């Protein structure tokens, strides 16, 4: 049985139009898109800028793509979950029709790109009861999207997730679930969606939570950041701005 098929959209907005575009998105466009056949839920996230430093002490700094053909939008991310790839790619689908009907308004999205992902693995976490699978977008999230340097690196990546990251996800505080993703379309082959109940002020990613969830893992391979390349300002970590959410610090 296929899980949810996720489309991620990254873009920027001009400062003098952001409020106007957000109002239109939240009151008109996104509710209409959410009503399209096959769409399960939609979440709009405001992304936190990542500092130019390693995620955690002692880790290598991430590699970032340097390709002018890949748009660099990142400040806004919209996630759409659907029941099937046909919702995005099927003939006569409603999403294509809506995007064509509103192409003038949607042209306000600067540096726009998108990708559609299927799920490789879903791992539930301690806070899964707060948002059961299929019940909507998480209050906060981190979306990684990246490529490996070589085919051999793909094998090490797959083994690392199963030996180190997936076990930690299952016990990470404040986490709802983690999804390892593979793309149908878009620049990245790989994606991850870490769903969390909150992002307290000052947090710009969820990596510190994984350190706290150490399970005495015996990973003897390379650090994953040595052989993957992220998109600009990735991974993209942010809080949901639509639908509205009341933030709660689940770690207190």
Tens of pLDDT, residue by residue over 183-218, are 999 999 999 999 999 998 888 888 888 888 887 777
- Tens digit of each residue's pLDDT (9 = 90 or more) over 82-95: 999 999 999 999 99
Phi, psi of 158 (to 5 degrees): -60, -40
Confidence of residue 104 (pLDDT cuts 50, 70, 90): very high
pLDDT beyond 70 at 247: no
Q: DSSP code of 137?
A: -
- Round to whole Å and give the CA distance between 189 and 180: 11
The dihedral built from the CA positions of residue 175, 238, 201 and 166, taken in this order, carries a sign that is positive
Structure tokens, 56: 């955690």
> H or E stretch including 114?
strand 110-124
Q: Which structural domains are found in the chain, ordered by start?
A: 5-242 (3.30.70.100)
∠ CA 91-96-102, nearest 5°, is: 155
Residues 6+ apart with CB under 8 A from 168: 210, 213, 214, 215, 217
pLDDT, average across residues 5-17: 97
Q: Peptide bond before 243: cis, by omega within 30 degrees of 0? A: yes
Mean pLDDT is lowest, of 56-70, 158-172, 188-202, 224-238, for 56-70
């Amino acid at each position: 049985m296929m899980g949810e098929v996720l489309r991620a959209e990254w873009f920027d907005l001009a400062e003098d139009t952001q409020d106007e575009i957000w109002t239109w998105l939240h009151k008109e466009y996104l509710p209409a898109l959410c009503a399209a056949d096959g769409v399960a839920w939609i979440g709009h996230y405001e992304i936190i800028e990542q500092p130019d430093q390693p995620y955690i002490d002692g880790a290598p700094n991430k590699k970032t793509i340097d390709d002018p053909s890949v748009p660099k939008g990142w400040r806004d991310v919209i996630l759409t979950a659907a029941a099937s790839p046909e919702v995005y790619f099927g003939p006569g689908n409603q999403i294509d029709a809506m995007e064509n009907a509103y192409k003038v308004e949607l042209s306000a999205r600067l540096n726009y790109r998108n990708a559609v992902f299927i799920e490789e693995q879903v791992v539930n976490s301690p806070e899964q009861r707060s948002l059961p699978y299929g019940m909507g977008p998480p209050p906060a999230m981190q979306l990684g999207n990246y490529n490996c340097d070589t085919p051999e690196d793909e094998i090490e990546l797959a083994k690392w997730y199963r030996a180190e990251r997936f076990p930690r996800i299952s016990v990470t505080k404040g986490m709802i679930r983690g999804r390892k993703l593979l793309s149908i379309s878009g620049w990245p082959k790989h994606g991850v969606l870490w769903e969390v109940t909150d992002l307290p002020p000052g947090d710009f990613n969820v990596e510190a939570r994984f350190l706290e969830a150490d399970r005495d893992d015996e990973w003897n391979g390379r650090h994953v950041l040595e052989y993957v390349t992220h998109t600009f300002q990735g991974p993209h970590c942010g809080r949901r701005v639509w639908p509205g959410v009341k933030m709660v610090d689940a770690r207190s």
